[in-house]
């Protein structure tokens, strides 16, 4: 290939005329061309901080690339199923593609993003998705945030080295052992967002409960068992029901250092009804209170989230403003608490961006 013998400066100028999706297609041509693109277009590849695999209805899925500090979609690959008799093999990604066509679409930032469309054999969906991810992971490297989003009716393909995922369990037909096999293949994620009654869908010691940060839409079910099984650091439960006794047990176990040692943040948002009784909880837990004359303690921290067009950052700001707090007997660690009939928040001081918390209480005391 004569192109490979051209001076680097000329190669770089030629590459500037190609969008990221077209550079990707060029990289299929040979290993030498792939390595060349990685070498002299490294600064462009590094502008993508998130690659999102979105699996939708009718076996169509999308691979989306998002840039740093911007809502601009810099890469969009669309994969649609096609009947076998019209398919021609495309070897580089080990998937079947009938044709490749490009067209333009306007994103929310009013800048043009080129979309590349591939047609594939839907009987090979999981193998195809795995091949695509394997190739992109080697091209963009491990520093990129890789995430998976699924639709209502099927589990997404099992992909390794995924950082974040959003999976709806409520309508899945898979049995518990099948779900566990899927999560075993994608474990050690930073963030997982699930929708459904986990106690009825997952085994009690599921690897999912070891996820560092989880957000769960309980869809109107009780979330007590999820809290007792959780082994990570941050747990956010919404659209759920909770018993006062569970909150009491949680706070007393944490205070005495008998349990929940890993948890740094806990947020519970109940259904419309008032499930939590503040007076009952405070009566059964040694919760300390700042007086009305003292300033409330305000804590802020960062919480991981999924990246999308409307959320381009890897985290969102969270905060708690409360006069209620708990001191752990074992090491003097503190945690701020909010208790209302419909929601509960718990945040450990040392895990937040607020080292002043202990000093504030000493001054107030």
| pLDDT for the residue 48 | 87
Closest of 204, 209, 202, 88 to residue 155, by C-alpha: 202
Please tell me the distance from the alpha carbon of residue 106 to that of residue 109, in angstroms, as a whole number: 8
| pLDDT for the residue 24 | 83
| pLDDT for the residue 59 | 86
Asked whether the beta carbons of 244 and 344 are under 8 A apart, the reply is no
Q: Give me the DSSP letters along 158-196.
A: --SS--EEEEE-TT----HHHHHHHHHHT-S-SEEEEES
Q: How far is CA 225 from CA 183, 194, 270, 348, in A?
A: 19, 15, 15, 21
Ranges of the chain whose pLDDT falls below 70: 1, 69-72, 83-115, 152, 309-312, 351-365
| pLDDT for the residue 352 | 66
| pLDDT for the residue 265 | 95
Q: Can you list the positions of beta strands (E) in 60-111?
A: 61-67, 73-81, 88-90, 95-97, 100-106
Q: Where are the domains of the chain?
A: 1-151, 275-365
| pLDDT for the residue 111 | 40
The DSSP call for residue 334 is E
- The phi-psi region of residue 278 (left if phi > 0; otherwise alpha if psi is between -120 and 50; otherwise beta) is alpha
CB-CB neighbours of 312 under 10 Å: 18
Query: Global pTM?
Result: 0.82
The DSSP call for residue 43 is H
* Length of the chain, in residues: 365
* Sign of the alpha-carbon torsion through 208, 213, 219, 221: positive
């Amino acid at each position: 290939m004569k192109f490979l013998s051209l001076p680097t400066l000329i190669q770089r100028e030629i590459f500037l005329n190609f969008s990221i999706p077209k550079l990707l297609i060029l990289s299929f041509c040979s290993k030498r061309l792939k390595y060349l693109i990685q070498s002299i277009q490294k600064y462009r590849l590094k502008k993508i901080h998130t690659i999102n695999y979105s699996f939708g209805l009718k076996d169509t899925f999308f691979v989306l690339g998002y840039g740093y500090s911007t809502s601009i979609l810099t890469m969009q690959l669309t994969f649609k199923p096609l009947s076998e008799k019209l398919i021609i093999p495309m070897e580089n990604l080990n998937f079947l593609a009938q044709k490749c066509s490009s067209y333009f679409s306007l994103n929310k930032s009013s800048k043009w993003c080129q979309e590349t469309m591939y047609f594939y054999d839907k009987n090979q969906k999981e193998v195809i998705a795995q091949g695509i991810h394997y190739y992109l992971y080697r091209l963009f490297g491990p520093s990129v945030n890789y995430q998976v989003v699924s639709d209502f009716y099927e589990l997404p393909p099992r992909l390794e080295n995924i950082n974040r995922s959003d999976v709806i369990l409520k309508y899945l037909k898979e049995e518990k052992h099948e779900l566990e096999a899927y999560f075993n293949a994608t474990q050690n994620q930073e963030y997982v967002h699930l929708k459904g009654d986990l106690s009825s869908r997952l085994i009690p010691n599921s690897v999912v409960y070891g996820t560092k940060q989880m957000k769960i839409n309980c869809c109107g079910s009780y979330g007590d068992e999820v809290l007792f099984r959780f082994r990570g650091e941050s747990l956010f439960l919404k659209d759920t029901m909770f018993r006062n006794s569970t909150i009491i047990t949680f706070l007393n176990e944490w205070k005495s250092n008998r349990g929940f040692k890993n948890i740094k943040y806990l947020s519970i948002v109940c259904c419309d009804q008032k499930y939590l009784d503040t007076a009952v909880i405070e009566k059964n837990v040694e919760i300390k209170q700042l007086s009305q004359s003292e300033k409330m303690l305000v804590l802020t921290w960062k919480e991981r989230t999924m990246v999308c067009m409307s959320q381009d950052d890897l985290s969102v700001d969270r905060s708690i403003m409360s006069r209620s707090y708990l001191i752990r007997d074992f090491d003097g660690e503190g945690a701020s608490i909010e208790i209302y009939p419909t929601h509960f928040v718990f945040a450990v001081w040392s895990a937040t961006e607020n080292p002043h918390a202990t000093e504030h209480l000493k001054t107030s005391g």
